[in-house]
């Protein structure tokens, strides 16, 4: 089995992980697509909000069937291997990357007709100096699986735009 962590931005090198604005409309911050016939399970996910303004942010981890948004494509190196198998196997063995596959900062959500909500939270950034964080680690043996051809998304909707870093850890 291989363990990977994927963020809503490119793998940081000389700069830190990039914050991405949420905007105020529904926005997919991170999207993941497997390869045909390879299911994967979600170990954990999380989001950090910087609280540049007071805001209420609805955060969702969901599967949207075969409807994919238009995203900035992740590169293979953006999917970070965490265990021995993940480090020794190219991430594109298990995940498709591209503008309608694995990527971040969605610009077009697509026509979603059905979802499977895996987790959802409402976070409050109470003031301009305080952010909010949320992490969900699924209990061992009770991790949700995603179908290989489905879109796994971390999606947000904020009352006032704030910046976010989100991630998902998956096992193949």
Q: Quick one: which of 37, 30, 32, 39 has its CA closest to 8?
A: 30
Residue 42: pLDDT above 90? yes
Give the alpha-carbon dihedral of 101, 103, 105, 110, to 10 degrees. Answer: 10
- Confirm if 169 and 42 have CB atoms less than 8 A apart: yes
30, pLDDT greater than 80: yes
pLDDT at 120: 97
Phi, psi of 3 (to 5 degrees): -115, 130
Judged against a pLDDT cut of 80, whether residue 166 lies above it is answered with yes
Report the pLDDT averaged over residues 114-140. Answer: 90
- Rounded to two decimals, the pTM is 0.93
Fold annotation for 3-171: Jelly Rolls (2.60.120)
With 70 as the cut, is the pLDDT of residue 128 above it? no
Q: What integer pLDDT is reported at residue 129 of this predicted model? A: 66
Please report, rounded to a whole number, the percentage of residues in the chain having pLDDT higher than 70. Answer: 99
Query: Measuring CA to CA, how many Å separate 79 from each of 24, 34, 66?
Result: 27, 12, 21
- Of the candidate ranges 40-44, 86-90, 119-123, the one whose mean pLDDT is the lowest: 86-90
pLDDT at residue 22 in the model? 94
Average pLDDT, the chain: 92
* Torsion sign, CA atoms 151, 156, 162, 166: negative
């Amino acid at each position: 089995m291989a363990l990977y962590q994927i963020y809503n931005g490119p793998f940081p090198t000389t700069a830190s992980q990039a914050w991405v604005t949420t905007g105020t409309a529904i926005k997919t911050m991170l999207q993941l697509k497997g390869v045909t016939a390879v299911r994967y399970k979600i170990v954990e996910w999380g989001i950090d909000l910087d609280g540049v303004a007071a805001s209420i942010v609805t955060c969702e981890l969901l599967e949207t069937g075969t409807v994919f948004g238009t995203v900035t494509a992740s590169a293979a190196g953006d999917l970070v291997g965490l265990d021995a198998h993940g480090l020794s196997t190219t991430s594109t063995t298990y995940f498709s990357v591209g503008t309608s596959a694995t990527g971040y900062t969605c610009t077009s959500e697509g026509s979603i007709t059905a979802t499977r909500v895996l987790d959802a939270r409402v976070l409050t950034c109470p003031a301009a100096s305080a952010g909010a964080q949320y992490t969900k680690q699924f209990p061992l043996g009770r991790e949700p699986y995603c179908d290989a051809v489905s879109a796994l998304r971390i999606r947000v909707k904020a009352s006032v735009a704030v910046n976010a870093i989100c991630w998902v850890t998956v096992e193949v």
